[in-house]
Amino acid sequence: MREIVFDTETTGLDPRTGDRMVEIGCIEMVNLVPTGETFHAYFNPERDMPAAAEAVHGLSAAFLSDKPLFRDGVSALLDFLGDSPLVAHNAGFDFGFLNAELALCALDPLGTDRMVDTVALARKRHPGAKLSLDALCTRYGIDRSHRVKHGALLDAELLAQVYVELRGGRQIGLELAAEAALGIDTGTGTDDQRSAFNLGPSQRSERRAPRPHVPSAEEMVRHRAFIEQMENALWST
Q: How far is residue 190 CA from its own chain's centroid?
A: 21
For residues 136 and 122, the answer to whether their CB atoms sit within 8 Å is yes
The secondary element (H helix, E strand) that includes residue 115 is: strand 115-117
Radius of gyration in angstroms for the set of CA atoms belonging to the chain, rounded to a whole number:
27
Determine if residue 7 is labeled as part of a ligand binding site: yes
Is 5 in a helix, a strand, or coil?
strand
Has 57 been labeled as part of a binding site?
A: yes
By residue count, the chain amounts to 237
User: 117 forms bridges with which residues in the sheet?
Assistant: 88
What is the Cα–Cα distance from 158 to 156, expressed in whole angstroms? 5
231 is in an annotated binding site: no
Consult the annotation and say whether 19 binds a ligand: no
Residue in 176, 142, 150, 153 with CA at minimum distance from that of residue 28: 153
Report the DSSP beta bridge partners of residue 25. Answer: 7, 40
3-state secondary structure of 88: strand
Active site residues: 150
User: Which residues are annotated binding-site positions for a divalent metal cation?
Assistant: 7, 9, 155
Binding-site residue positions for substrate? 7, 9, 57, 155
Q: Summarize the annotated binding site as residue ranges.
A: 7, 9, 57, 155
